[in-house]
Amino acid sequence: MELIQGARDKREQQEIMKLFEVLGANIINLNDSISARALQYIKEYSISHGLTLADALIAATSYDERAELFTANTRHFEFIPGLALKRFKP
């Protein structure tokens, strides 16, 4: 969702979705476990580290799915224990 939101126009949104298809990327739906973990992260890190709702949902999804979290902004996540954080260099 964050990638789609960051698109500058409809064409760019379509390109992002096509890239997902080419890469065989799965769209992971939010569930109770992810929502509960994101809420935990918000309570624990929103004031102290400025964690946003979007980043809390991303981190919670990564953690629950045991998936590596590739990001150009590791500072948004580095304080959350247990994440498999990888720097993405565009």
Q: Does domain 2-87 have CATH number 3.40.50.150?
A: no
10-40 pLDDT per residue, tens: 999 999 999 989 988 888 999 999 999 999 9
pLDDT reported for residue 88: 81
pLDDT in tens, 32-63: 999 999 999 999 999 999 999 999 999 999 99
Among candidates 53, 52, 57, 89, which has minimal Cα distance to 73? 89
Burial class (CB in 10 A: 0-12, 13-18, 19+), 13: middle
Domain ranges for the chain: 2-87
> Please, are residues 63 and 82 in contact by the beta-carbon 8 Å criterion?
yes
**pTM, whole model, 2 decimals?**
0.84
